Chains A and B, each alone.
Chain A
Amino acid sequence: MAFSCKNSSKFNGFSSCIKMVMVGTSAIMMQQRTLAMEASLCVKKSKKKGADSVTRPNSQISAAMAAVTPLLLLLLLSSAPSFSSGSRNAYNINGRVKIPQGLGLGTKGYALPGRMSNVKVLLNGGQNITFLRPDGYFSFHNIPAGTHLIEVSAIGYFFSPVRVDVSARNPGKVQAALTENRKGLSELVLEPLREEQYYEIREPFSIMSLLKSPMGLMVGFMLAVAFLMPKLVENMDPEEMRRAQEEMRSQGVPSLSSLLPGGARN
């Protein structure tokens, strides 16, 4: 995390670097919390119908109950029989996408499509595409054993692709790891690594930005020449100044006043 941050700060500016670290750590903390809570069984042989109804969460479960679901799932799964037998070599991958509420709503002026309906979950670079149920669960059906890649596409969020091992030898065991930071997941709960801001934020009007701009610098320079130079000249030795003036006159360098139209009067 720190490594990639150091490098990206080159382009993103220091502030985004800090933000990234903060998002990262909060994500890790959330991860740990969910780890303790949720069940770890997500991939299993789906030969039996009973298994299907178990892994498919009831659509009636509202978002408010989302926190309770894992416990429920755990209870149900512990009572479910193991499915080692089965003629066909096809498995289901079930998982969940969680978008923390605080992440999306904090920004103002930029309406994030907080709806889950535009989130897509892609397996192996688009070979299978599925969508999220209202409670964030998704599943891929009839997947052969092997090492797969799951990607989540959601506008406004950056998700790391996830490597998922579906093994034929011990079905029911999931091995998942984020490919971006090689962090292992004990179950398939995908959370965004960070939020994505597609637009630059307009900086509010300030005197400093005005002064720092090339125009402001030009004005500053002119003012400095106009007001500070005479002061410098005043502090000079009068004799030396007279000599310099005479020299200038002999060379025919016109003074400022003679340059201007009014200078012709004298």
Chain B
Amino acid sequence: MSQQGYVATPPYSQPQPGIGLSPPHYGHYGGPSHAASSPGMIKPAGPLGAAPPGGMLPQGHPPPGPHQFGQNGAHAQGPPPQRFPGPPPVSSAAPSYPPYSPSTQSSYPSPGSSASMAQLGSQLGAMHINSYGSGAAPPSQGPPGPASAASVQGPPQPPQPSILQPGSQVLPPPPTALNGPGASPLPPPTHRPDGLPGPAPPNAQYQPAPLPGQTLGPGYPAQQANYGPPVAGAQLSYPGGFPGGPAQMAGPPQPQKKLDPDSVPSPIQVIESDRASRVGQVYATNARGQIPPLVTTDCVIQDQGNASPRYIRCTTYCLPCTSEMAKQAQIPLAAIITPFATIPSNETPLYLVNHGEAGPVRCNRCKAYMCPFMQFIEGGRRYQCGFCSCVNDVPPFYFQHLDHIGRRLDHYEKPELSLGSYEYVATLDYCRKNKPPNPPAFIFMIDVSYSNIKNGLVKLICEELKTVLERLPKEDQEETSAVRVGFITYNKVLHFFNVKSNLAQPQMMVVTDVSEVFVPLLDGFLVNYQESQSVIHNLLDQIPEMFADSNENETVFAPVIQAGMEALKAADCPGKLFIFHSSLPTAEAPGKLKNRDDKKLINTDKEKILFQPQANVYESLAKDCVAHGCCVTLFLCPSQYVDVASLGLVPLLTGGTLYKYNGFQMHLDSQQFLNDLRNDIEKKIGFDAIMRVRTSTGFRATDFFGGIYMNNTTDAEMAAIDCDKAVTVEFKHDDKLSEDTGALIQCAVLYTTVSGQRRLRIHNLALNCSSQLADLYKSCETDALVNFFAKSAFKAVLHQPLKVIREILVNQTAHMLACYRKNCASPSAASQLILPDSMKVLPVYMNSLLKNCVLLGRPEISTDERAYQRQLVMTMGVADSQLFFYPQLLPIHTLDVKSTTLPAAIRCSETRLSEEGIFLLANGLNMFLWLGVSSPPELIQGIFNVPSLAHVNTDMTLLPEVGNPYSQTLRMIMGIIQQKRPYSMKF
């Protein structure tokens, strides 16, 4: 294990004068020396595209040890370090790069050296390990600046362990640079090869406003930072950034040297290497505690007894045996469960088990469902529960003989015996009131206040509904959808519509009693779309006209949800509300909100208030909604502050989705809006769900994060759960775990299908247990860790000051790594950072997380946007959170128009942008196309159909359809990226 550790020089933060401020530091690209570490990306020329990612992976080409970085550059490139001699500046771009040696042993003196350990230990001891979270600023830390220091983006890293020589210190960027990203006027050409992240406003990338295109001019200032910053995960930098930071990195203070950005482990490389090794392979889940491929890797997963990582992904696949060990390592034990994850068509869909009247076979004691972990004994007459060890009788109908190895003869015939994931048909006992559920209903609730009418949104929705309703979700084998639909419009009052099929024209019923909303009609409100099609179309035609001359500005909100919920309650079915809302609900009604946006609270202890809902109404409303299986999906098109923190609460707790389109403008946002709407209506979804996570003895689920409502401590209730929603579950020890039996997790979700069938979806997963810390570190999954950290931090945002949260995150990360160094890694110089292989990129990712606008308030980021992102992350699965925190940056100019594969991603750092290039940046919410100031005109012509950069309309949100290969390929790429994401990205 230790060999695989990274040892990096402690980034001693040496405040360098003028960092980020002095133009000279920024070398211009274009100099011959610029062979950026990933030249392919920087060089505009097409030919370079020929150097595919693979080419950059210097596997097996360990460069000469002593050379700094030789290997980084990969054979293709020039030696990076030497490139920057000129601008030695401040920014860390120290000419002398730490030698990057492929093998720890060879490259540097005993990594596990007692000296370094002692040194580290002493440093850590004081502030971290013992007083974890105490917040004591390490002596070495100067600036509390959060920003990552050197955005060290190395070229693809070799997979081998690499070590940064302690001697060559990388200097963490001076705090000043970090803190004042916005403030530092970067000289236009920001491409500093050394990758000093510079003053990139970390959060800026979320601001939709600065489209890349706009900044193309020569004056192109800091905006490019939009892309870079989150990425600029200078893992090494946080010591600088955070008080109490990772002291382990703070080796001997050698201020002059800086960390070479390229020497930092590269996520891209990690991703690519995993991809290279596993893509196209079949990953079979047959072994306990097997570590799955990364989320970014496409491969076929075959269920052989454990749930696919698409359903469950753990932070570690090997649990520590004892709670002491867990405490020592401080690695969170958690599983990110996406019970309804979409399965690619080349994998087997879930089998459905139907035991008829008898219902699922369950353990008598712990009620775990029959699964591969049940051990059949006594010739098959009994079985021992793998979770609680209780011995149960096999029900007569279920009896089967055992074969010579003690397996039932029908082992492979029954999905519940051989597979990790499967479904049961639930019996009436599992239904509300012991009655079979009715098929769910979708209710569309449209805000018809003045602004929505005026900006055309109402018309757009009504038009779209006419077509999209044709594609309501249905069971695969059914011809038409069983989902019924209903319509409500509202401003200050609510309008229900009777669209019964036998009516000549729809009937509108106005409910003005918003203080106590009720459902005015029963029959004819929820209808089958096919049957009532003509009436519905008639209605949808009329709605925009009906309110065309409305000048009602006030809206209500809580009563709207209430109405939808009451309607579903009256119809006795679960369902989903699609609410299209756009303003702060100021009308006199329950849930009335005040504008309380107060930028002054940012960075104070009261900042948390901004994330808390304003009125209690929403929480109790959410509770009612969950109790009645009413899921709320909210499409917000605000033109100003709408208090997302309050409005979003119900969608969050009911398992709905929140979509937000700032300052909705028809020509800019309609496409994104419509895509989202279509996806949301069509996607796979289960209603009225209860999720329970059972574990084998010794540990248990203690905390749940996600779009759920918890009535008690064990059951996560969800009004609905769709394919994009993930629940993160944290585990804690109860007792000792045994290495032999391992640890078992069974996640059971009871839900109602879109056709109104009650089902149980079971996911099983077996994990290893070990008493060796090394095993634990070996089995960690960084992406899942980040997901967990993000969710727990974002949850804590409601209750704790952000500063404390950031400190905790930093400290915990530091602690995890320190623990590794202390216990697993071979001795090394104290100044070296040793990273376990499985956590190579954790620091980078953590840095990105810390720079997320939720955790780092800035006045130019709207409170709503922060609340929105907070909410999004709370329900994200691992793949989404990975992309969200570390966006994909694709060099478009290297595009091979003949190939259909994506160009290799590059490190997401501002420094990787080049003037000659065109880059596409995507984080799951937004896509930006960044055009370098001297991007090749033929590309511009090809993509935009305009002669030059100056002609490009920076407002556009859709690429023109131009019939040439560049355009087609680019659009295809965007399509591919989009395909897998829950949110349609705004371009």
Indicate whether A and B interact. Answer: no
Which residues of A does B touch, CB under 8 Å?
A: none
Which residues of B does A touch, CB under 8 Å?
A: none
